[in-house]
């Protein structure tokens, strides 16, 4: 392990890799990414690849608006095709309580030029034939949303960042953050110490633990989420939008001729356990069969669990931390880190190299918690 770096990034997931790439693009070559396991072994290797503009907060929409064009051009820019399928996201609203929030979201999307629209139950059915829609009050659809392959996105960032001079070290755990009274001095790790004026915490669900090493409190909690995938089924021949039953958080998209589905468990306590809770599968299957009756013919082939990096307001914490100059947080995406990785990498690199960002991310500062200026996000799955 080298002894010095301009920037040390803790965490080799999509966020660390995107920041490393954008730093090298901004002309910084001495960038070191330290990953305790393998690159992509955290949440980046466990997610559904969903990408959307349909958020209820302006800053989340803007993060998506800055990221999605980059994902559309990813193969061209990065030389790796992430197989971005812009089949749309379809939110099914089946509960009165969600009508007004989604009507507000539709107004926001109109103001921000998001091409999302309200559709009735009949059109929802034509957009997603495998779904039952007779109980749908209305739905919202944005054809620019969709899903992509997260590992291709990760590999693209790693490959291009390496070409730009960044170094990625695997199997090295950051065990300490060195600080003087007024700023960060570097990190200590299982493979040695590195002196660096800037340390970025991109440790995903473990970001609070890393920040703790620097005596910084980050309100980021790990929350287990499951995904199950069925065998191929002939009834699901064609692609369909990533469809969300909003009242339960059940979502599904086509995957290798079968269906990938997930659902949030309201009883899941925070914790780092990523073993599959097979006792939860029957609840998912019950909801999935009710919403997608074609799944009656399907068998669940595999399942896994990963961790959301949950913040109290479901928004990431981005930027320098006031209490410790030189210490940057880029974590807490609350389940949206793949889709927001391009804009995040760009903004954090700009902040480090120029001290300002093209996209205003000030609403996501760590200080918002102390000031009580939380930014609410309603459309969380």
Ligand X SMILES: Cc1cc2nc3c(=O)[nH]c(=O)nc-3n(C[C@H](O)[C@H](O)[C@H](O)COP(=O)(O)OP(=O)(O)OC[C@H]3O[C@@H](n4cnc5c(N)ncnc54)[C@H](O)[C@@H]3O)c2cc1C
Return d(Cα 309, Cα 315) in angstroms, integer: 10
- Compare residues 34 and 236 and give the one whose CB is closer to ligand X: 34
| Nearest to ligand X of 307, 365 (CB atom) | 307
Contact present, 340 and 64 (Cβ < 8 Å) = yes
Min dist. Cβ of residue 112 to ligand X (A): 19
Residues with Cβ within 8 Å of 45's Cβ and at least 6 positions away in sequence, in order, are 150, 151, 306
* C-alpha triplet 8, 356, 73: angle, nearest 5°: 75
**Min CB(271)–ligand X separation in Å:** 13
Which C-beta is closer to ligand X: that of 41 or that of 367? 41
Task: Give the binding site for ligand X (CB under 6 A).
Answer: 10-16, 34-37, 41-44, 46-50, 173-174, 202-206, 210, 225, 227, 262, 306-309, 331, 333, 335-339
DSSP state of 99: H
Neighbours of 180 (CB within 10 A): 10
Contacts of 100 (CB under 8 A, 6+ apart): none
Which residues lie closer than 8 Å to 224 by C-beta, 6 or more apart?
265, 268, 271, 273, 274, 277, 305, 306, 307, 308
Least CB distance from residue 157 to ligand X, whole Å?
10
- CB 96, min distance to ligand X, A: 27
What DSSP letter does each residue of 188-242 carry, written as one string? EETTEEEE-SEEEE--GGGHHHHHHTTT-----EEEEEEEEEEPP-TT--S---E
Q: Minimum distance between the CB of residue 120 and ligand X, rounded to whole angstroms? A: 26
Q: Which of 226, 194, 173 is nearest to 38 (CA)?
A: 173
Q: Whose Cβ is closer to ligand X: residue 69's or residue 293's?
A: 69
| Min dist. Cβ of residue 4 to ligand X (A) | 18
Give the three-class secondary structure for 117.
strand
What is the Cα–Cα distance from 375 to 213, expressed in whole angstroms?
Answer: 27
Q: What percentage of the chain's residues is helix, strand, coil (to nearest 5)?
A: 30, 25, 45
Residue 282 Cβ vs ligand X, minimum distance, rounded to whole Å: 18
Compare residues 170 and 235 and give the one whose CB is closer to ligand X: 170
Angle at Cα 90 formed by Cα 86 and Cα 92, nearest 5°? 170
Nearest residue (CB) to ligand X, 235 versus 283: 283
* Minimum CB distance to ligand X smaller for 129 or for 171: 171
Choice between 39 and 365, CB closer to ligand X:
39
Please give the order of strands across the beta sheet that includes 221-230.
116-119, 138-142, 89-93, 242-245, 250-255, 258-263, 221-230, 300-310
Angle in degrees, CA 227, 142, 157, rounded to 5: 60
Q: Whose Cβ is closer to ligand X: residue 164's or residue 335's?
A: 335
Q: C-beta of 311: minimal distance to ligand X in Å?
A: 11
Residue entry with tokens 């989604």: 102
In angstroms, the Cα distances linking 7 to 16, 299, 352, 355 are 11, 47, 9, 14
> Min. distance of Cβ 20 from ligand X in angstroms?
11
Nearer of residues 173 and 235 to ligand X, judged by Cβ:
173
CB of 122 to ligand X, least distance (A): 27
């Amino acid at each position: 392990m080298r002894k010095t770096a301009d920037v040390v990034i803790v965490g080799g997931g999509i966020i660390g890799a995107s920041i490393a790439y954008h730093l090298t693009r901004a002309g910084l070559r001495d960038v070191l990414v330290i990953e305790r396991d393998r690159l992509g072994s955290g949440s980046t290797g466990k997610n559904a690849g969903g990408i959307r503009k349909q958020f209820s907060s302006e800053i989340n929409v803007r993060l998506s608006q800055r990221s999605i064009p980059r994902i559309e051009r990813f193969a061209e820019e990065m030389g790796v095709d992430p197989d971005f399928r812009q089949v749309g996201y379809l939110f099914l609203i089946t509960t009165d309580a969600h009508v007004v929030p989604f009507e507000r979201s539709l107004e926001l999307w109109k103001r921000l030029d998001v091409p999302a629209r309200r559709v009735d139950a009949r059109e929802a059915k034509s957009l997603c034939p495998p779904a039952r829609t007779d109980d749908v009050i209305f739905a919202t659809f944005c054809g620019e949303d969709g899903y992509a392959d997260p590992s291709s996105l990760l590999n693209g960032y790693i490959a291009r960042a390496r070409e730009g001079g960044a170094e990625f070290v695997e199997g090295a755990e950051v065990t300490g953050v060195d600080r003087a009274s007024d700023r960060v001095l570097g990190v200590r790790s299982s493979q040695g110490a590195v002196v660096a004026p800037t340390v970025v915490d991109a440790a995903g669900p473990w970001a609070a633990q890393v920040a703790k090493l620097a005596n910084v409190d980050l309100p980021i909690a790990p929350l287990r989420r499951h995904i199950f995938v069925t065998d191929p089924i002939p009834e699901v021949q064609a692609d369909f939008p990533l469809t969300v039953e909003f009242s339960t958080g059940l979502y599904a998209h086509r995957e290798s001729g079968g269906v990938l589905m997930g659902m949030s468990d309201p009883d899941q306590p925070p914790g780092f356990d990523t073993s599959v809770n097979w006792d939860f599968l029957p609840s998912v299957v019950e909801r999935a069969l009710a919403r997608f009756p074609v799944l009656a013919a399907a068998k669940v082939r595999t399942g896994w669990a990963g961790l959301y990096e949950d913040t109290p307001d479901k928004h990431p914490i981005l930027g320098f931390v006031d209490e410790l100059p030189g210490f940057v947080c880029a974590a807490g995406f609350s389940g949206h880190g793949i889709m927001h990785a391009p804009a995040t990498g760009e903004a954090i690199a700009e902040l480090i190299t120029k001290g300002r960002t093209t996209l205003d991310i000030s609403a996501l500062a760590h200080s918002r918690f102390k000031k009580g200026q939380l930014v609410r996000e309603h459309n969380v799955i």
